[in-house]
Amino acid sequence: MVGGLMGSRGITGLLSDEDFKNLKDKDGISTVEAMRKIGLDPSLPKKRDPKTMKAFLELHIEQGPILEEKKIPIGVVEAIVGLTQFEVIVEGQAGHAGTTPMNRRSDALVAAAKMIADFPNLAIDEGEGTVMTTGQLQVYPNGANVIPNKVVFTVDLRSSKEEHIENVIQKMNKLIDSHRKDGIQITAEQRLYMKTKVMNPEIIEHLKQSSLRLHTPYCSINSGAGHDAMVFSDCTDVGMIFIPSKKGLSHCPEEWSDSRDIVKAVEILYETAKKLTEAEEQ
């Protein structure tokens, strides 16, 4: 996420030169090295005074299937979901796969798998678009004939309302507690927490009215991913619209959006920008 939002974080002063230079990927390659390798200037953009920003408008692909399924070309974003990420470490006891009886095992992977399988139900039960994902999993010692003694995995939890995030965190901790038995030890560390960002109501209304004037169908929608608007929302008024993504695919070669939808979205942003400027001059 930091990489994708680097420009906006630099402009708003949230990312210092030192932090930027220290950013590295899993292979130890710094952002500066990677940018220079492909001919990009690695210097951060100059911090912008918030007083010089009237508003921030953003156009983005949805990265999901909702607009395409509804056959609606424009999604007016109401809020960018809040998110939290945890790193969970499960520790048990290693042993030989053939000589350790089933009733004498403290298998870290079995305990982790049971929790991971139950996590989606926590989000489903909470409802209102709450989602929960385990995206990374490391197993140790990772041998075909060895009972795992340690598992490290991530949990990504997102919702458009803070109360849902807090509710699921509580349920997740209770679920984790229930697996602390039979020689299994578990720690869960919260690594990231970002609050829900609500878009500016006035800009939302301008975007909707612009869509109506241009006879372009729209619907209200929440963003499940972080965007530049999320960063700028702490500095100025923000608004955002989505266009459909083919099959909801993103960050892959199959990512595609119709140029006709892009044209409609640009027209809406243009009309909204004019309205915001007129409001300032009155």
| 3-class secondary-structure state, position 6 | helix
Domain boundary among 143, 168, 194: 194
DSSP classification of residue 59: E
Identify which of 229, 256, 228, 230 has the alpha carbon closest to the alpha carbon of residue 244: 256
**Which range marks the domain in which residue 95 is found?**
82-194
Q: Are residues 108 and 96 in the same domain?
A: yes
Rounded mean pLDDT, 151-168 = 95
pLDDT at 14 over 80: no
Per-residue pLDDT band at 1 (split at 50, 70, 90): very low
8 A C-beta contact, residue 157 and residue 82: no
Q: Residue 151: left (phi > 0), alpha (psi -120 to 50), or beta?
A: beta
User: What pLDDT does residue 40 have?
Assistant: 87
Q: What is the CATH number of the domain that holds 99?
A: 3.30.70.360
pLDDT at 169 over 70: yes
User: pTM to 2 decimals?
Assistant: 0.77
* Higher local confidence (pLDDT), 19 or 188: 188
Q: Are residues 115 and 190 in the same domain?
A: yes
Q: Are residues 87 and 173 in the same domain?
A: yes
Q: Are residues 242 and 257 in the same domain?
A: yes
Q: Are residues 109 and 210 in the same domain?
A: no
Q: Are residues 101 and 73 in the same domain?
A: no
Domain boundary among 163, 194, 225: 194
Identify which of 208, 232, 231 has the alpha carbon closest to the alpha carbon of residue 220: 208
Query: Which residues 6+ apart lie within 8 Å of 169 measured at CB?
Result: 84, 157
Q: Are residues 134 and 170 in the same domain?
A: yes
Q: Are residues 87 and 183 in the same domain?
A: yes
User: What pLDDT does residue 281 have?
Assistant: 47
Q: Are residues 99 and 175 in the same domain?
A: yes
pLDDT at 192 over 50: yes
By percentage, how much of the chain surpasses pLDDT 70? 93
Q: Are residues 234 and 277 in the same domain?
A: yes
Per-residue pLDDT band at 3 (split at 50, 70, 90): very low
Spell out the long-range contacts of 210-214 with Cβ–Cβ below 8 A and sequence spacing 24 or more.
210/267, 210/268, 210/271, 210/272, 210/275, 211/74, 211/76, 211/268, 213/271, 214/264, 214/267, 214/268, 214/271
pLDDT at 2 over 80: no
Q: Are residues 260 and 235 in the same domain?
A: yes
pLDDT tens figures, 39-93: 988 876 667 787 888 999 999 999 999 999 999 999 999 999 999 999 999 999 9
Tally helices (H) and strands (E) across the chain.
Answer: 9, 12
DSSP classification of residue 64: S
Domain boundary among 194, 229, 263: 194
Q: Are residues 253 and 273 in the same domain?
A: yes
Q: Tell me phi and psi for residue 216, to 5 degrees.
A: -110, 120
Instruction: For residues 238 and 55, give the distance between their C-alpha atoms in angstroms, rounded to a whole number.
Output: 6
Q: What is the CATH number of the domain that holds 275?
A: 3.40.630.10
pLDDT tens figures, 222-242: 998 878 888 888 889 999 999
Q: Could you tell me how far CA 103 lies from the centroid of its own chain?
A: 41
Q: Could you tell me how far CA 154 lies from the centroid of its own chain?
A: 13
Per-residue pLDDT band at 4 (split at 50, 70, 90): low
Burial code of 30-67, b = ≥16 C-beta within 10 A, e = fewer? ebbebeeeeeeeeebeeebeeeeeebbbbebbbbbebb
Q: Work out the mean pLDDT of the chain and round it to a whole number.
A: 91
DSSP classification of residue 107: -
How many domains, in total, are found in the chain?
Answer: 3
